[in-house]
Amino acid sequence: MKTFQTVRWFVDKNEKNLTNHPQVIQASLWIKKDEVIALPTETVYGLAGNAQSDQAISRIFESKGRPSDNPLIVHISNHEQLEGLVSSVSESAKKLMNAFWPGPLTIVLPKGEQVSEKVTAGLSTVAVRMPDHPVALALIEASGVPLAAPSANLSGKPSPTTADHVYEDLKGRIPGIVDGGSTGVGVESTVVECTRNVVTILRPGGVTQEDLEKIVGSGNVKVDPGIENKELAPKSPGMKYTHYAPDAPFVLVDGSAEFIQQLVDNERRAGKKIGILTTEERMSVYKADTIIPSGKRSQPETVAQHLYEALRSFNEAGVDKIFGEVFPKTGVGVAIMNRLEKSAGGNVVKE
């Protein structure tokens, strides 16, 4: 694998005319060389390369250590870029684009001819979204091509929500990182399949099932069984492999605070250093070596926003094991629990 002196290009997302920003231009030159760079989006940082170049896509998989049967999401900056990228757009997809683009919604459509086969992992469909981040949109425009961009982390690790997270994982592996500050949503985009009129959720995210139903009708949205079944071939990023895992073993606990504390006490008596993933409201309830909150339980969107940062913080704390609370599977809580269950590799203890 190539090695690089990874640089950081600092770009203020509030500046005007970002497409011509010197740092954006520098980053786009690497894209035009079929290399990959990291860029900010409103969800997490992405590792971006030319979606039409086999070489660039191979570099993405190599840099991340990502299995090549895991499809990638293609990012566009305008609707015209759909031409050649997809072969058709259903009416339901058009409604969702109008409602949620730019934003954290990825739509899976029949693929066109102008996309690398490596992007789709052999599928007849391609996943596309328009990010709601001015720096990402400017970089796509400056590069002149749609960009395939999975999360900019080593495969299996928590996704990066700051440029520091990217640097920690990919220093030396990529030419540079466009540093546009912290991301907003915190968890990856919702992925839906719209190859027919029915909208199928392939990965939960910031756009909830309830949000989708408001646009296409409550009877026209379903959840794909592959979200829970690892034996099925992945139709979308995040459906098959263990993701988002901190270094220490992570266990989700479906039970009371007292039960969680009992589990912690048992491990600490055995000489282990234990961490607890909780929320701001319940920090004072526990006693452990490291207690890290991820937002407020009363505001689930803040839990999603800080989730990956919290998981990464346990690595710095050097704990031997982590216990985490569960959350109601409603609204954005569906996405939160999807990521937590994958972080734990399905390891859930019930009271």
Specify whether 180 is located in the same domain as 296. no
Instruction: Give residue 243's pLDDT.
Output: 65
Query: Per residue, what are the HEC states of 140-207?
Result: HHHHCCCEECCECCCCCCCCCCCHHHHHHHHCCCCCEEEECCCCCCCCCCEEEECCCCCEEEEECCCC
Q: How confident is the prediction for the chain on average, in pLDDT?
A: 93
Specify whether 211 is located in the same domain as 99. yes
Q: E strands within the chain?
A: 7-10, 37-39, 46-50, 73-75, 105-110, 125-129, 147-148, 176-179, 190-193, 199-203, 221-223, 250-254, 274-278, 290-293, 321-325, 348-350
Specify whether 141 is located in the same domain as 18. yes
Instruction: Give residue 228's pLDDT.
Output: 59
* 290 domain-assigned: yes
Specify whether 199 is located in the same domain as 52. yes
* 239 domain-assigned: no
Instruction: Give residue 230's pLDDT.
Output: 54
Query: Which of 329, 323, 344 has its CA nearest to residue 258?
Result: 323
Specify whether 190 is located in the same domain as 294. no
Model confidence at 25: pLDDT above 60 = yes
Q: Return d(Cα 211, Cα 67) in angstroms, integer.
A: 32
Specify whether 204 is located in the same domain as 257. no
Per residue in 131-181, pLDDT (tens digit) is: 999 999 999 999 999 999 999 999 888 999 999 999 999 999 999 999 999
CATH at residue 325: 3.40.50.11030
Average pLDDT score over residue span 305-326: 95
Pairing of the two strands 199-203 and 274-278: unpaired
Element (H, E) at 236: none
Instruction: Give residue 237's pLDDT.
Output: 56
Average pLDDT score over residue span 35-47: 97
Instruction: Give residue 299's pLDDT.
Output: 97
Per residue in 252-277, pLDDT (tens digit) is: 999 999 999 999 999 999 999 999 99
Q: How far apart are the first and last CA of the chain?
A: 47
- pTM of the prediction? 0.92
* 244 domain-assigned: no
**Which residues have CB under 8 Å from 130's CB, separation 6+?**
75, 76, 77, 78, 79, 97, 101, 102, 103, 137
Instruction: Give residue 244's pLDDT.
Output: 76
Q: What percent of the chain has pLDDT over 70?
A: 95
Instruction: Give residue 214's pLDDT.
Output: 96
CB atoms under 10 Å from CB of 246, counted, come to 23
List, in sequence order, every residue forming a beta bridge with 127; answer none if it has no partner.
73, 108
Element (H, E) at 77: none
Average pLDDT score over residue span 20-27: 98
Specify whether 56 is located in the same domain as 175. yes
Instruction: Give residue 55's pLDDT.
Output: 97
Specify whether 223 is located in the same domain as 310. no
Per residue in 66-116, pLDDT (tens digit) is: 877 889 999 999 999 999 999 999 999 999 999 999 999 999 999 999 999
* 73 domain-assigned: yes
Q: Return d(Cα 184, Cα 301) in angstroms, integer.
A: 10
Instruction: Give residue 100's pLDDT.
Output: 98
Which domain range does residue 325 map to?
Answer: 250-350
Per residue in 55-65, pLDDT (tens digit) is: 999 999 999 98
State the total domains in the chain. 2
- 1 or 8, which is more confident? 8
Model confidence at 314: pLDDT above 90 = yes
Instruction: Give residue 218's pLDDT.
Output: 87
Element (H, E) at 269: helix 257-269
* 264 domain-assigned: yes
Specify whether 222 is located in the same domain as 264. no
Instruction: Give residue 156's pLDDT.
Output: 85
Q: Return d(Cα 292, Cα 299) in angstroms, integer.
A: 16
CA geometry: angle at 121 spanning 249 and 247, to 5°? 15
Per residue in 242-258, pLDDT (tens digit) is: 567 889 999 999 999 99
The residue written with tokens 């912690």 in the block is 264
* 124 domain-assigned: yes
Model confidence at 239: pLDDT above 60 = no
Pairing of the two strands 274-278 and 250-254: unpaired
Residue 213 burial (C-beta neighbours within 10 Å; 0-12, 13-18, 19+): middle
Structure tokens given for 129: 């979204």
Query: Which of 144, 173, 234, 197 has its CA nearest to residue 38?
Result: 173
Q: Which amino acid is at 10?
A: F
Model confidence at 219: pLDDT above 70 = yes
Per residue in 290-308, pLDDT (tens digit) is: 999 999 999 999 999 999 9
* 235 domain-assigned: no
Specify whether 187 is located in the same domain as 289. no
CATH at residue 114: 3.90.870.10
Specify whether 109 is located in the same domain as 255. no
Q: Return d(Cα 177, Cα 153) in angstroms, integer.
A: 12
* 279 domain-assigned: yes
Specify whether 219 is located in the same domain as 332. no
